[in-house]
Structures are given as structure tokens and as C-alpha cells.
């Protein structure tokens, strides 16, 4: 999964596309948004979803660069929102968990 995050970190896309996707990523809900992009009824784990989304985004970017008539910027932004949302979920899962304080032991108040 970290390989996918490295690919994502090296992606070069227009600044406006990234800014629009960042604004939308705050409202990303995978149960609602992901089925629109993937051809499956069951939601895959975040790693598999991110891989599929990156492949879809590469096709959209090729259409953008080729100035093809079927390119839709709104769809590109929507896919980028999903990519950012899934990457956020992966990074959260990989982050080290803070240790909980032992039960019953509280630090003494400083006086």
C-alpha cells in the first residue's frame, strides 16, 4: 500500500484540479462515492480501491492531455476526491496508534 501512496505523492496535476479535489475530500464518504467509480457492488479495501482509482485517473488525465471530447473535468475532480479520501483512510490505518494510559494510574497534579 505504501507503493500506492508513493505514486500518489509523485503525481503532477494542474493546481486547480488538486485544489478543487482537496475542497471536496473533506466530504468524502466511501459508501456513497466509491460505487460511482468502481464496477463492483461490494466495496474493496482501500488499497485495492486506490489502485483502481489511480488507473481510472490515469485514463482521465490522458484524455485531458489529449484534449479529447469525452474528457469531463467534473468527473476528473470527483475521481481525485475519491483518491484523496482513500489515501487518507490508508494513511490513518498506517499511522502509529498512541498508547493509552494505564487504567487507574493518573499523573499527580502539579502544585
Reply yes or no on whether the pLDDT at 99 is more than 90: no
| pTM of the predicted model as reported, rounded to 2 decimal places | 0.80
87-91: long-range pairs with CB below 8 Å, 24+: 87/4, 87/5, 87/8, 87/50, 88/25, 88/28, 89/30, 89/46, 90/1, 90/4, 90/5, 90/46, 90/47, 90/50, 91/5
Q: Per-residue pLDDT tens for 21-39?
A: 999 999 999 998 899 898 8
Amino acid at each position: 500500500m505504501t507503493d500506492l501512496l508513493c505514486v500518489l505523492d509523485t503525481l503532477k496535476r494542474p493546481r486547480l484540479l488538486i485544489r478543487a479535489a482537496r475542497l471536496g475530500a473533506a466530504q468524502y464518504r466511501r459508501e456513497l462515492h466509491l460505487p460511482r467509480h468502481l464496477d463492483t457492488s461490494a466495496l474493496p479495501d482501500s488499497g485495492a480501491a486506490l489502485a483502481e482509482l489511480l488507473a481510472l485517473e490515469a485514463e482521465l488525465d490522458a484524455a485531458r492531455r489529449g484534449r479529447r471530447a469525452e474528457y469531463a473535468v467534473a468527473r476528473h475532480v470527483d475521481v481525485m476526491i475519491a483518491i484523496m479520501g482513500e489515501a487518507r483512510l490508508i494513511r490513518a490505518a498506517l499511522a502509529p496508534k498512541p498508547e493509552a494510559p494505564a487504567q487507574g494510574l493518573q499523573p499527580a497534579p502539579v502544585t
